[in-house]
């Protein structure tokens, strides 16, 4: 009977469905090395165990689209269809999305917990508050009227923290997009 390393076995089973190849691709280790750790032919050092834990529990941010040109809907192509084309099959993704103006300035940043298409659809249709646009613009405008580019990033949910929320808060605090009311809240660290 071959002895197994219970910690490594748990991480591989729980986070990679038992697939050592998937774990190797995600962590940068070789499949052979991970299999040796599982069979206890070699003991992983502290750095390798930490790396395996980190890559197992921290979600991977993936680009859905960056600076996709947003074309206004027409009679033939609805807003929902336009957004679906931009999201390229990731309509149900969790993560972050951003709207940019014609000069590629970030004007809005949002987060969604599982239905990217619906969230982007609702937010792009939202009215722009009075006083945001120049005084020469007299009509009431929606975000739809000023958005020219859209970016979207998939961030899978995690039981260990809301990583997308923290990234969103940081970007909001740094860039202060004109069409966001909430500029993100960061907690001060007391471990300095």
pLDDT tens per residue, range 8-60: 899 999 989 999 999 999 888 999 999 999 888 888 888 988 889 888 887 78
Question: Across the chain, what does the average pLDDT equal?
Answer: 85
Determine which helix (DSSP H) or strand (DSSP E) holds 97, and give its type and residue range.
strand 94-100
Task: Compute the distance between CA of residue 7 and CA of residue 4 in angstroms, rounded to an integer.
Answer: 9
Task: Compute the distance between CA of residue 157 and CA of residue 114 in angstroms, rounded to an integer.
Answer: 9
* Cα dihedral 181→182→183→187 (10° resolution): 170
- Say yes or no to pLDDT of 179 above 50: yes
Confidence category of residue 77, pLDDT binned at 50, 70, 90 = confident
The pTM of this model reads 0.73
Query: For the chain, what's the residue count?
Result: 192
Report helix, strand or coil for 149.
strand
Report helix, strand or coil for 72.
coil
């Amino acid at each position: 009977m071959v002895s197994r390393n219970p910690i490594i076995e748990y991480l591989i089973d729980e986070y990679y469905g038992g697939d050592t190849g998937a774990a190797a691709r995600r962590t940068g280790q070789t499949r052979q090395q991970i299999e040796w750790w599982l069979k206890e032919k070699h003991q992983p050092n502290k750095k390798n165990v930490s790396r395996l834990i980190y890559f197992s529990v921290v979600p991977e941010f993936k680009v859905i689209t960056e600076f996709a040109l947003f074309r206004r809907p027409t009679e033939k192509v609805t807003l929902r269809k336009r957004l679906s084309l931009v999201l390229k099959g990731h309509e149900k993704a969790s993560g972050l999305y951003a709207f940019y103006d014609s000069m590629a300035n970030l004007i809005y940043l949002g987060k969604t917990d599982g239905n990217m298409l619906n969230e982007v659809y609702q937010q792009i249709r939202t009215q722009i508050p009075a006083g945001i646009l120049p005084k020469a613009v007299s009509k009431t405008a929606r975000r739809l009227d000023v958005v020219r580019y859209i970016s979207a990033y998939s961030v899978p949910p995690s039981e260990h923290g809301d990583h997308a929320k923290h990234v969103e808060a940081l970007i909001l605090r740094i860039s202060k997009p004109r069409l966001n009311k909430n500029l993100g809240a960061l907690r001060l660290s007391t471990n300095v």
